[in-house]
Structure 1
Amino acid sequence: MTDPELVAQIKVGNEKAFRLLVEQYQRMVLHTCLGFVQDRNDAEDLAQEVFIELFRAMDKFRGESGLSTWIYRIAVNRSLNFIRDQKRRCFFQSISTRLTGGTTVDVADQSWRSRPDHEVENNQRRANLYQAINRLPERQRVAFTLSKLEGLSYQDIAGIMGLSLSSVESLIHRAKLGLQKQLYQCYKKGL
């Protein structure tokens, strides 16, 4: 079934068509969310939210872009909203901890320490990389994640982000420079 046929069937309430959509795009959505939040459980929760939103908003899909582009955009937006909410929670926890005299804990570090199946050194490298990615300005982070972690073409990223091709190229170039600088500083400290 083609994407337009799938959309048409979902719009008339065909549950089998929606299950087919989930099966077809589940891996992509989960991988996209995981690229942003770096925690499997959070990514799975976000993926479920993405499909719930897709089901509810299918009538709003006008077909101006491809179905996969629309789904990517929803997954990216959900992931970014989640990250913003996490930052707010961490900020208020940090204030609360300071007021009560406790110590703060870096949430990103904890998620990587809880994965005993990886070598400690690889965990640290991965954590450093994701921390550096998370420090990038939002648009750079989105473009870089979609390109390097999701493997999307610049043209697809331009469609998802609603930008020109040259803007995407510029964002990814600046993201690479920013990551290079951050990682150099991080590893320079360790020398």
Structure 2
Amino acid sequence: MEPFTKIYNEYKVLVYNVALHYLQNIQDAEEVTQDVFVKVYYTLHSFQGKASLKTWIYKITINQSLDFLKKKKSKKRLFIFGNKSHNEQEIVQISNFEHPGIILEKKEDAALLFAIINTLPEHQKTAFILSKIDGLSNPEIAEIMETSISAIESLIFRAKTTLKERISDKFESYRKKK
């Protein structure tokens, strides 16, 4: 139990922050953080050390976050097309996310940016978040995503290009409204 406690104490903030960047909901990030450490606890014996422990935990966190988003989207579709939930709070709008670390006057801009980041394809979003938000190097990202450094550079470049276009479009339509 002691090695797990050490791992938990060392990586709990990292796991929570990565989950929060993906899910943009505090309660969901807390849930995924818990799920990640349950998975780490039960699979720690199979960790072979081919990658660093940090990389292994990043992979688990990203996969748990993406799985959570997929489940959430399927619940939304079921809500729209199938059985109506008895609890309207179950359907959460990601675009209304307010990141706890953002200064009050910048929240509207940040909400717009996070909404646009969420429209990126999955691999571009992952590479962009790990690079620009988590500050990881391209070699670290390549190891986490199990691809080449040049593929990571391409993903980040395409993500930045797409974000620039979409941000420009958003602000252009915003200016036309005023």
Q: Give the TM-score of the pair, scaled to structure 1.
A: 0.81
Q: Which runs of 5+ in 1 are unaligned?
A: 1-14, 99-104
Pick from 10, 24, 40 the counterpart of residue 10 of structure 2: 24
Q: Give the equivalent residue in structure 2 for 1:87.
A: 73
Residue identity matched to 2:68: F
Alpha-carbon distance in 1 for matches of 2:107, 2:73: 22
Question: How many angstroms does 1:53 deviate by?
Answer: 0.1
Residue identity matched to 1:90: K
Does structure 1 residue 49 correspond to structure 2 residue 35?
Answer: yes
The structure having more radius of gyration, on CA atoms, is 1
Pick from 114, 123, 126 the counterpart of residue 130 of structure 1: 114
Does structure 1 residue 33 correspond to structure 2 residue 19?
Answer: yes
Once the two structures are aligned, what percentage of the paired residues are identical?
33
Residue identity matched to 2:30: E
Query: 8 Å contact 1:108–1:127 — kept in the other structure?
Result: no
Count of aligned positions: 168
Residue identity matched to 2:165: K
Q: Which runs of 5+ in 2 are unaligned?
A: 85-90
Residue identity matched to 1:84: K
Q: Give the equivalent residue in structure 2 for 1:173.
A: 157
RMSD across aligned positions (CA): 2.2
Report SS of the residue matched to 1:135: coil
Q: Give the TM-score of the pair, scaled to structure 2.
A: 0.87
